[in-house]
Amino acid sequence: MSEDLSRTPVSLSSVREDDPHLQPAAKNPIVVERIIALNFIAAMLSLAGFLWAYVVNAQAWKLGATFGGGLFFLGVGLVAWGKYLMPRGPFVEERHVLSSTQAERDSFADAIVNRGGGVIKRRKFLGGLLGGSVALVGAASVWPLLRSLGPMPKGTLFHTDWRRGTYAVDQSGRRIHTSDLAVGSIVTVFPEGKQDSERGQAVDQTVLIRISNQDYTTQKGREGWGPKGYVAYSKLCTHLGCPVGLYEQQLQLLVCPCHQSMFDVTNGAIPNFGPAPRPLPQLPLMIDSLGYIRAQSDYHEPVGPGFWERA
């Protein structure tokens, strides 16, 4: 069986000028050259088109098409040149052994162990003190950088801004009245005065839902929390803190859009599906003499996702 010598690799340093390895790979170099030339011309026209499109402030897709197209044609031409017109090879190169001789390795180790180790051995006490000082330099560099980054959490995560008598307002600051909502309605509420603040939106956000026309008790021990069928739950999902804005009024479920935890609105927002581990905290409500909806107190537990200090 004949071996195709043209496929045997040759070394670059020893190749002769008339070697077929230096010939282009294309059978028809002239034709290929013309095709590459067309690609380069297309690239130049396209990129010139991009410059023109930029000057006349053309739409984004025209800018992108000319820019991307120009680069693409340029790439095709250049790759084709390298692949079909340049020396076809293949070429070979010997791998030189990376590792040094044992003698060289020994001398390197000797420098470290004997010269360096000798120094430390003679002055062990100083070496220890040096190590201690460098360690403290490290601590001095890192600790202020990290500690100054932010405030200590302290009790921030344990309370919201809801207090006894706080009015429930919507995002425009309007107080919610009992006659506002029908059964099956939902509105996002905040403590009055906090609807525009970052903390108000991030921590105090609450959903107010009317599930009945009569007073509603969602759990034992929560009598009086749901006057006239209005119940309020923290909008922060107990899984990862996404706002639980998705309410299905017939299934009576609050579904979290992030990871699809489903909370039973009629039963203390207990999650009956999905990864949320705890029910949404319920805000005890009351209705004042004028019919406005107000909170009885803050939430009875921290809102939002779990954390170490949360009992």
| Site for other proteins, residues 134 to 163, rule: CB under 8 A | 146-147, 149-153, 156-157
Q: Give the separation between CA 268 and CA 257, rounded to whole angstroms.
A: 19
217 binds other proteins (CB under 8 A): no
Residues numbered 50 to 69 that lie near other proteins (CB under 8 A) are 54, 57, 59-65, 67-69
Name the residue nearer to other proteins (CB basis): 73 or 167.
Answer: 73
Q: Tell me how far, at minimum, the Cβ of 60 lies from other proteins, in Å.
A: 4
205-231 b/e (C-beta count within 10 Å ≥ 16 → b): bbbbbbbeeeebebeeeeeebbbbbbb
**Count, residues near other proteins per rule CB under 8 A:** 123
Residues in Cβ contact with 50 at an 8 Å cutoff, skipping those fewer than 6 apart? 63, 66, 67, 70
Residue 92, Cβ density class (10 Å: 0-12 exposed, 13-18 middle, ≥19 buried): exposed
By three-state DSSP, how is residue 270 classified?
strand
Residues sharing a CB contact under 8 Å with residue 209, sequence separation 6 or more, in sequence order: 185, 186, 230, 231, 232, 233, 247, 254, 265
Least gap, CB of 82 to other proteins (angstroms): 3
- The single residue among 26, 35, 89, 217 that binds other proteins, judged by CB under 8 A, is 89
Q: How many CB atoms lie within 10 A of CB 277?
A: 11
- Pairwise CA distance, residues 144 & 156, whole Å: 22
Residue 9 near residue 92 (C-beta atoms within 8 A)? yes
Residues in 226-285 at the binding interface with other proteins, rule: CB under 8 A: 235, 239-243, 245-253, 255, 257-262, 264, 266-268, 270-278
Instruction: Output 117 or 302, the one with its CB closest to other proteins.
Output: 302
Tell me the one-letter amino acid at 109: A
Residue of 67, 77, 84 whose CA lies nearest to 30: 84
Question: Smallest distance, Å, CB 220 to other proteins?
Answer: 9
User: Residues 165, 167, 172, CA angle at the centre, nearest 5°?
Assistant: 165
CB 203 within 8 A of CB 304: yes
Choose which of 72, 217, 222, 287 interacts with other proteins (CB under 8 A).
72
Minimum CB distance to other proteins smaller for 90 or for 224: 90
Q: Would you say 20 or 132 has its CB closer to other proteins?
A: 20
**Residue among 162 and 190 whose Cβ is closer to other proteins:** 190
Nearer to other proteins, 287 or 305 (CB): 305
Among 97, 103, 112, 290, binds other proteins (CB under 8 A): 97
Ranges within 169-208 binding other proteins (CB under 8 A): 170-171, 176-177, 179-188, 190, 198-199, 201-203, 205
Q: Is 95 in the site for other proteins (CB under 8 A)?
A: yes
Among 32, 49, 77, 234, binds other proteins (CB under 8 A): 77
Per-residue string for binding with other proteins, 13-52, x by CB under 8 A?
A: x---------------------------------------
> Does position 297 bind other proteins by CB under 8 A?
no
Among 155, 163, 202, 143, smallest CA distance to 307 is for: 155
